[in-house]
Chains A and B, each alone.
Chain A
Amino acid sequence: MSLPQFTFLMPTSLSEACSLLEEHQGKIKIKAGGTDMIVRLSHRAVKPDFLMALKKIPDLNQISYSPEAGLNIGALALLREVEISPIVLEQAPMLARAARATATVQIRNMGTVMGNVCNASPSADNIPTLVAMNAVIVASSGDQEREIPIDEFFLGPGRSALQANEIATAIKVPKVAAKTGVSYQKISPRSKVDIAAVNIGAMITLDKANKCEAVRISMGAVGPTPLRAKQAEKYLLGKEITDETLAEAGRLAAEDASPITDVRANREYRKLMVEVLTTRALKEASSLAVNY
């Protein structure tokens, strides 16, 4: 179907983009890769007077790392770029795994990790790992910049903490601590292309005795926003990592999940998969942590 009419804007600086947002508040939509926005336009799910593309704003596609600043993924870094970036593969390989699990080859060549985050879909592939790794979203309103902890970023399906005049410019992921491992696990009816029926991101830090010192577990597609498995996290602290403790953590995670039944999976199956995938994610993350 043809797209509805709009005035197309292609600002060449961040400040220009932010003032356009301010000026056309309520009548403007932002497009990065466009793989979600163009579909929404085509379906008339949105009908903005103005569509603003970010692609001409310089330097937004950078991927960089330093031990102090951690990993920085610019708003226009493509899913494909994150998937194959030597920096990401070295510093946060599970972010590359999540990017690779997203949609199709063509969509990954167009879409951005930030777009996937900002659309705030509860089932987004790239969110659980970023939550597990305690990422921060950098938001700019042109003259001002603020950092939003990812735990505070998602307000509901499709709703984020970005203000109407703000553009998310980068994802910052803190340097991974010693003896820490991360995992991303996903299940969907089809092995490729499909949106997750359940996805789990987990990061675990072990102490000298290989007991759990810190853990973050994020569950996707089982609530209106990505949910932290708080009970499981609390339970694991100070515990030895065994098949039994990891199984119990999975069981507790399922208790914290509040999935719905939809076309991809029913509520009961999702609960069961939260248990399985949480245990699986913790197992992989802790085995990676032992040697990191």
Chain B
Amino acid sequence: MKKELITLNINGDDYEIAVYPWRTLNEVLRDQLHLTGTKLGCGTGDCGACTVHIDDQSVSSCLTLAVEVEGHKITTIEGLAPQAVANSELENCELNPIQESFVNKGAIQCGFCTPGMIMSSKFLLDHTPNPSEAEIRAGLSGNLCRCTGYNKIVDAIADAAEKI
């Protein structure tokens, strides 16, 4: 089988890559482009760890074929604070306000769900700038966390909403 040559626009950069049509966006991001901020959890669209944005819509990258998103705008967790990714010295980096709130409110424990949580939070706040607690919880319903018990994540999003 032949690989297809495609160009993916990820976080504003164009990547020309050769991929098999059965490769998911998650596989291409992590294994081929080494953008490992996006995680792979369940692989069936239940846990939300793999959440990225396609044209500003939150989607499961594990259920998206890479060849299908050529020509679309792809945003991963690395794209929320590009300078922080480029600059390894933590003191000098500027995080996205949602990331900042997650850090400040202790909404991160093991951290595995965090990229997906933050991408879902971003989608929520893009559409619902002043969410109620119920709206925050509904907005996170596609993301599982086994550490925090969710309360601190809900607090972090409410905190971020006030800043944005």
Stretch at the interface among B91-99, B137-145, B151-159: B137-145
- Whether the Cβ atoms of B141 and A193 lie closer than 8 Å is yes
The minimal Cβ–Cβ distance linking A283 to chain B, given in whole angstroms, is 24
B residues within 8 A CB of A7?
A: 1, 21
A97 within 8 A of B: no
A109 within 8 A of B: yes
Instruction: Take A8-B67, A39-B44, A42-B44 as given contacts and tell me if A106 and B51 are in contact as well, using a CB distance cutoff of 8 Å.
Output: yes
A287 within 8 A of B: no
Bound state CA distance, A117 and B24, in angstroms?
25
Contact size class for A?
20 to 34
B residues within 8 A CB of A46?
A: none
Stretch at the interface among B9-17, B52-60, B78-86, B103-111: B52-60
- Whether the Cβ atoms of A110 and B64 lie closer than 8 Å is yes
- Whether the Cβ atoms of A104 and B65 lie closer than 8 Å is no
- Whether the Cβ atoms of A39 and B57 lie closer than 8 Å is no
Interface centre among B24, B45, B62, B123 (most CB of A within 10 A): B45
- Whether the Cβ atoms of A192 and B60 lie closer than 8 Å is no
B residues within 8 A CB of A172?
A: none
The listed residue (B23, B44, B57, B141) touching A109 by CB distance below 8 A is B57
The listed residue (A1, A106, A107) touching B43 by CB distance below 8 A is A1
B68 within 8 A of A: yes
Instruction: Take A8-B65, A192-B138 as given contacts and tell me if A105 and B123 are in contact as well, using a CB distance cutoff of 8 Å.
Output: yes
Which residues from chain B sit less than 8 Å from chain A, CB to CB? 1, 4, 20-24, 27, 43-46, 48, 51, 57-60, 62-65, 67-68, 120, 123-124, 138-139, 141-142
The minimal Cβ–Cβ distance linking B12 to chain A, given in whole angstroms, is 21
Which residues from chain A sit less than 8 Å from chain B, CB to CB? 1-8, 10, 34-35, 38-39, 41-42, 51, 53, 55, 80, 103-107, 109-110, 192-193
Interface centre among B20, B21, B27 (most CB of A within 10 A): B21
The minimal Cβ–Cβ distance linking A44 to chain B, given in whole angstroms, is 12
Bound state CA distance, A39 and B64, in angstroms?
11
- Besides A3-B22, A41-B22, A106-B45, 12 other A-B contacts (C-beta < 8 A): A3-B24, A7-B1, A10-B68, A38-B45, A103-B45, A104-B45, A104-B46, A105-B120, A105-B138, A106-B58, A106-B142, A107-B45
B residues within 8 A CB of A38?
A: 24, 45, 62-65
B residues within 8 A CB of A3?
A: 22-24
Bound state CA distance, A117 and B27, in angstroms?
29
B residues within 8 A CB of A51?
A: 21-22
The minimal Cβ–Cβ distance linking A115 to chain B, given in whole angstroms, is 12
- Whether the Cβ atoms of A109 and B43 lie closer than 8 Å is no
Bound state CA distance, A256 and B3, in angstroms?
53
The minimal Cβ–Cβ distance linking B93 to chain A, given in whole angstroms, is 27
Bound state CA distance, A22 and B123, in angstroms?
40
* A-B residue pairs in contact (CB < 8 Å), sample of 11: A8-B67, A38-B24, A38-B64, A38-B65, A104-B48, A105-B123, A105-B139, A105-B141, A106-B48, A110-B59, A110-B63
